[in-house]
Chains A and B, each alone.
Chain A
Amino acid sequence: MFVRGLKRKCFDGEEDIEGTLAGIKAIPSYNLQRQSLLDMSLVKLQLCHMLVEPNLCRSVLIANTVRQIQEEMTQDGTWQMINTQSTGQASLDRLVSTDILCRSSRDQAEGKHVPGYGTFNKDFGSDQAQDSSETMSTASSVQAPRNLQSNMWEMENPQENKGNFPKSLDQIFETLESKSPNSVEDLFSEVDNSYYDLDTMLTGMMSNTKMGHCDSLETFSSPTNTASNSNCKSDLNDLDHIVEILVES
């Protein structure tokens, strides 16, 4: 059984006054913290690298974390609640909980979620709404990812219940395992086929997409550059390389 002290553990790390005040205002429940972790993990699983095979070890570890959360939530009986949960009210609370849970600075915490989810929209890159650090605007934007995320699963499994989580998780591994040649592509096959069109690549749409990816990752994570961030930039060069190959052949 998991110790209910998870909340306290994370909270113990924060010592600035701002954090304490925010904590007093709205101490996030363990459930909400856990939900944030679940959301973050799902985003991580889906934000795979398009050109290079995703790191299997990382994917497995994240998937195991998701399974743990899901198992605990099933035991708690909170899993069923997710489907019926209204997004509006919960999003604000969740925003706060994420803030406490994973803060390096307030701004990062508030800005990070939305661009990450935003890449799933068809409007890549510059079309994404710029995030202000104001709570209200981010609250309403956070609402969208919730729907988007469920929509993603739905698009993959139109017949299945939104709550049929394990199947979707397994699907990730199926596609990672590459039953079909384009494993990562299958994951998004319902989302946007033009992503992988030769024409799309050659006309440079991919680079725009990549830039959107990079921007989102930069704000998504804390001040440190993630490996995927630098990979994005090298991918632009790699993309040229690939275009060269394709053109030559």
Chain B
Amino acid sequence: LSTADIISTVEFNYTGDLLATGDKGGRVVIFQREQETKSRPLSRGEYNVYSTFQSHEPEFDYLKSLEIEEKINKIRWLPQQNAAHFLLSTNDKTIKLWKISERDKRAEGYNLKDEDGRLREPFRVTELLVPTLKPMDLMVEASPRRTFANAHTYHINSISVNSDYATYLSADDLRINLWHLEVTNRSFNIVDIKPANMEELTEVITAAEFHPHQCNTFVYSSSKGTIRLCDMRSAALCDKHSKFFEEPEDPSSRSFFSEIISSISDVKFSHNGRYMMTRDYLSVKVWDLNMEKRPVETYQVHEYLRSKLCSLYENDCIFDKFECCWNGPDSTIMTGSYNNFFRTFERNTHRDTTLEASRESSKPRAILKPRKVCTTGKRKKDEITVDSLDFNKKILHTAWHPSENIIAVAATNNLYLFQEKIN
């Protein structure tokens, strides 16, 4: 297993036709959905590699004598405005805007240069030609258009494109910056939770996202399990939140690990903008933006791990950052777990499903069998005991197609795509 191939982020674009993955080696691979054609009716919905490029390289910070990893932490697409596609990709320190464009025509018949590209002697030019466009094999080019650097002292954990499609935010452990897509030498700091005295540091920012419709609103989550909603119209520096979301702690389940498992690893607005979802170590919570006191829905992802927290602390698994995602209609949510399991929760029916992303269980076109973890003493057939779960196989990154029931699941260095079977 080459660690450079470990997938670190997965993201569909706005139409769902493109799926981007970033990996630990700083590469971005984009998949494109094949169009259904009469000649290949069975290729409905297949995603094939469209473009691969090296987004970030490892860097060395000479001042601090520390390495800057090239691992892609997040990719976010921009809405398509012309023939080309644009996406933002970021590592710990630098965000880049990439343009992905197609070229399927080539100009031939230049006057000043010949077929090899060499310049012609002027006296050899005896007639004037108009270059013609000839078709060529499709070439997909990725070129960096902007580099947004030197604005983050700490590690970037989130980027989010604003609904105005002109600005975006980037968040690190202690600060959130606002950028304009056209301006790379300046960014505005909109949140700063760094204490004057670092000895007093007890809380960090873990994720941030813009509201899908209100371009002045964003949220950020913390390592203490809180979410703050901020309005950029109220002040230039949004250190004072407009809303503060926190669920009161259950005193009966208090332990030394309570804070760690309450740390929010991901926050996502629903598509309709009325809810947001947060993922902490053991659960996923859905919040109504109008109610700050507690979430409206809580789903247990792997409650059977609660009695294993000490072991999970020892092997650092308790610090794993799982992501979560909504389906298009916001009726189902999905998140990952261990042993290459991932879970979906239907909000209306309260039905939850556990599925596995593995080679054995995922033959092409085969239907996934639901899995079950045995939590009581007696193990039924096909059930898996908690102790036999593989904690190396963690599904941290998942993505749901914006309008169809197609999901992308990253299992270490493999990407799985599942589609709902339509009878």
Contacts and interface: CB of A to CB of B under 8 A. Distances in A.
Interface in B204-263: 204, 206, 223, 251-252, 254-257, 259-260, 263
B170 to A, nearest CB: 16
B43 interface: no
A55 B92 CA distance: 11
A220 B392 CA distance: 15
B319 A61 contact: yes
B313 interface: yes
B300 interface: no
Contacts of B252: 3
A61 B223 contact: yes
A182 B64 contact: yes
A27 interface: no
A232 to B, nearest CB: 10
Contact of A37 (B155, B174, B223, B256): B256
Interface residues of B, number: 48
B223 A51 contact: no
Contacts of B308: 13
A222 B311 contact: yes
Secondary structure at chain B's binding surface: helix, strand, loop or mixed? loop
B67 A221 contact: no
B319 A58 contact: yes
Contact of B314 (A40, A64, A230, A242): A40
Contacts of A57: 173, 204, 206, 223, 263, 319
B310 interface: yes
B126 interface: no
B315 A60 contact: no
Interface stretch (B80-88, B195-203, B270-278): B195-203
A226 B315 contact: yes
Contacts, number: 128
Interface string A165-201: 0000010011011100111110000000000100000
B203 A60 contact: yes
Contacts of A10: 307, 310
B64 A178 contact: yes
A83 interface: no
A53 interface: yes
Contact of A60 (B69, B92, B223, B313): B223
Contact of A61 (B58, B69, B92, B263): B263
B65 A182 contact: yes
B316 interface: yes
B23 to A, nearest CB: 13
B221 to A, nearest CB: 11
B317 interface: yes
A188 to B, nearest CB: 13
A185 B198 contact: no
B314 A51 contact: no
A183 B307 CA distance: 36
B26 to A, nearest CB: 12
A80 to B, nearest CB: 21
A87 interface: no
A241 interface: yes
A65 B65 contact: no
Interface string A224-249: 11111011011000100110010000
A3 B254 contact: yes
B313 A40 contact: yes
A22 interface: no
B58 A238 contact: yes
B155 to A, nearest CB: 7
A76 to B, nearest CB: 14
Contact of A53 (B155, B174, B317): B155
Contacts of A228: 316
Interface stretch (A96-104, A122-130, A131-139, A204-212): A96-104
B390 to A, nearest CB: 8
14 contacts: A2-B256, A10-B310, A52-B66, A60-B202, A60-B203, A104-B311, A176-B198, A184-B66, A221-B314, A221-B315, A222-B315, A223-B391, A227-B316, A241-B58
Please give me the 8 A-B residue pairs with the lowest Cβ-Cβ distance, nearest first: A13-B307, A170-B199, A177-B198, A221-B315, A224-B391, A56-B173, A222-B315, A102-B314
